[in-house]
Chain A
Amino acid sequence: MNVTKLMIVAVGGQGNILAARLLGEAGVIAGLPVRMSEFHGMAQRGGVVESMILLGDGMGSAISDGEADALVGFEPSETIRAISKCNTDSLVIANTSPIPPYTVAQGKAEYPDVKTTFDKIAGRISKLIAFDATALALQAGTVLSLNIVMLGALAQTGRVPLDVELFRQAIRKNIKPALVDTNLKAFDLGFDAAAKVN
């Protein structure tokens, strides 16, 4: 079956659901079959948010371990947590700026060494694009545009069967007019960041 399976992981409040929605909307504009599922039981309370986006043939809207074509992680430890969704052909796009969970401040858990872990991951998948997307979001004007920075990077890789312009269309269509410029800037910054890694 011709289907692209994308997974986005983030911490509550990072805009995962909107990013997934924009990807889905871009798919709809392109006339592709789109199925998505989202898990955010207690997201606003600092929990993990997962989205799965399937573009193309099929019926299901879930992605099993080893089946993601691309994993986009808005937070490094969340990328690590979800990495078993990847196989040797997977693409991983990862923000390197951490949001340590409270368990770390309490001394109940240790935050992983991002660089060492990402280096290991890079050798096991087809490509890792890791960069400080939070800094780029701030550069675009608000940390809230992090999700769009990450979408920009994903769009650049060409791993999604969607023309880059469709992403921009989806942003214009679904984001409040006052925020569109900031988000388009964020998109471009993410796009360029991924191009540099390429």
Chain B
Amino acid sequence: MHTLLKDNPGEQILMLGNEAIARGALEAGVAFTSAYPGTPSSEIALQFFQISQENDLYFEYSANEKVALEIGIGAAMSGLRVMVTMKHVGLNVAADALMTLAYTGVVGPLVLVVADDPFMFSSQNEQDTRWYGKLSGLPILEPSSVPEAKEMVKYAFDLSEQLKLPVIFRTTTRVNHSSGVVTLGSMRERITEGSFEKNPFSYVCVPAVSRNLHVKLLEKYDQALALANESPWNMMEGDGKWGIICNGVSYSYVKDILEDLGVTDKFRVLRLGFSHPQPGGLIKTFLKGCEKVLVVEEGEPYMEEGVRNFAQKAGITIPISGKGDDLFSRLYEFNPAMVKKVIGSYFNLTFASSQPIEVSDLSEAPARPPNLCAGCPHRATYVAVREVFGDDAIYPTDIGCYTLGLLPPLSMGDFLVCMGGGVGTAGGFSRATGKKVIAFLGDSTFFHSGLHALVNSVHNNHNFTLVVLDNLTTAMTGHQPHPGVDLSHLGLSHTTVDIEQVVRGVGVKKVITVNPFKYRKTVEAFREVAEFEGVSVIISREICPLYARGLPDHKKERPFYVNQNKCKDHRVCVDKIACPAFYLEDEKVCINENMCVGCAFCAQICPEHAILPVKKEGKS
């Protein structure tokens, strides 16, 4: 049985934040779940995926975040208890559905988990999801710790049920990827069958209906505001004259720092966990007891602007600060020492700060950038593309492992903003410059949002080559399935959608599927599309070796080695392919047998044919 299904209230379990969120949903009786994976949210969906194979919980990896939300909406409108999870940029994709869902509201509760990534550990931007609260009018809850995340998720379901509105549950990486001790609660019964009551004049958002619904949304907003002002998730602690308003992980730092410095008596702290609608009444009450206030929040000055607004309305003129020089930055993640320093300087506290040891004279650690894995088929595709087009073509790329092709010596990636954007921008680059454009796109990304751009390009007679790097899984986020994946090894009967058929179906005239580990044929395919006018698609299809390793029928290939008698040290292998399995020993190229997966790609590139499979009984 899955650990998160333990029906043993009171038991304490060490859980990842994302596991705690999933457990909270299960305790709240969640029946219907959907997601598009994305760091740092992915492990929530993984729990649901696993659990759905054990019981009647519905879960699906949807093609993208908007579809995931829409699937969830259908279930929530039918009265089921629903959770949909995604990363922060995923909400941009889902936002179209969410904005008007705020108008219709929901019948069963719908909790939308959105995981922000301050510092961009694994993201293309660090946008602050809290603004979506203001944009949509929907309530936002934000936990400060792992144990709280579980409890707060349960409340999110209650709140959604009470207001008949979807609730945004906003986390940051430091909550998603932290672990803490969680006390199991009891499980609410899961109801997996719903019914839909038709009510088109409340649910079909034509202008005349929406004009009424917007009024309703504002009424619900007022109810939510009243709840936020009274909410136990918005805690006031202490009765000192110095005020700190904080949220999320910042609260945990503030709390530890004040305790550590022994100054809790000088401060009063307001932690906003129910952070939208901003609880103006509560904030005003808090401000009235303060001489000066510091707002501690990662990301944008979302609370700070609100607090200043409420102060102005209440005629409160005390200093209120947050972001600024010598204060907090809008950039990146906070850490305890940084928060301590700003609190110290703002409130004139003196304390001995921690003293890192002297490091200026130590040799620097060499950069260890993430790299395409040993035996990654994307690398092979990139080597072939570089062979044919060099630096002459423009290479829009997309979001996935293959983005790492940007690093030299492959240097395959000239522009990237968002999922699916590689295909869309390709048409623009091509029209504007008249140059050869080769766009890269992953298989999961193809289904996520590349498809629409491809259809557009066919219709508008654009001229570029799209390379679909099909490694048969969503590799970057941990090998989740997508519509093109065969799940029969898990006993699941999903229908596999064939990328080549789709591409041909939308009218692409030139389509070639290659195995990138067959170097010569792959190069030939790229030569063939080089002169083609119009949209051409090369599907470069080979399974991700990390994913393959976990499949039941996986057979390990023999690794390769460099025959030092044959090697003339051209270093074409290192300079062109840059597989991480290569290393230098006494200035000679060698292959790490533990890393080599036996793809045999480098053996085809070596001009001396000096790269050979390791013989079964030892090697030369």
Contact = CB atoms under 8 A, between A and B. Distances in A.
Contacts of B364: 80, 112
A34 B373 contact: no
A65 B354 contact: yes
A44 B364 CA distance: 23
Interface residues of B, number: 60
A88 B370 contact: no
A103 B368 contact: yes
Interface string B532-549: 000000000000001000
Contact of B336 (A25, A46, A62, A125): A62
A161 interface: no
B252 A61 contact: yes
Given A80-B363, A105-B574, A65 B122 contact: no
Contact of B362 (A24, A28, A83, A109): A83
Contact of B366 (A41, A63, A104): A104
B370 A45 contact: yes
B39 A41 contact: yes
A11 interface: yes
B177 A60 contact: no
A110 B355 contact: no
Contacts of A87: 354-357
Interface in B399-456: 401, 404, 409
B357 A67 contact: no
Interface stretch (B76-84, B237-245, B559-567, B575-583): B575-583
B146 interface: yes
Nearest to A45: B370
A85 interface: yes
Interface residues of A, number: 65
Contacts of B260: 1
Contacts, number: 189
Given A35-B179, A37-B174, A59-B256, A86 B367 contact: no
A36 B259 contact: no
A8 B498 CA distance: 43
Name which of B249, B364, B369, B409 has the most chain A CB atoms within 10 A of its CB: B369
B92 interface: no
Contacts of A37: 174, 177-179
A77 interface: yes
Contacts of A28: 12-14, 181
Interface string B274-308: 00000000000000000000000000000000000
Interface string A109-121: 1111100110011
Given A45-B370, A64-B337, A83-B359, A59 B255 contact: yes
B366 A117 contact: no
A101 B367 contact: yes
Contact of A105 (B252, B368, B582): B582
Contacts of A34: 14, 179-181
Interface string A25-43: 1011000011111111111
A15 interface: no
A25 B14 contact: yes
Interface of B: 12-14, 39, 121-122, 144-146, 173-174, 177-181, 249, 251-253, 255-256, 259-260, 335-338, 353-359, 361-373, 401, 404, 409, 476, 546, 574, 578, 580, 582-584, 594
Given A46-B580, A47-B369, A65-B356, 18 more contacts: A35-B178, A36-B14, A37-B174, A38-B179, A39-B177, A46-B368, A46-B370, A47-B368, A64-B337, A77-B365, A84-B356, A84-B359, A86-B357, A101-B367, A102-B582, A112-B366, A124-B357, A125-B357
Interface of A: 1, 11, 21, 24-25, 27-28, 33-48, 57-67, 77-78, 80-81, 83-88, 90, 100-106, 108-113, 116-117, 120-121, 124-125, 143
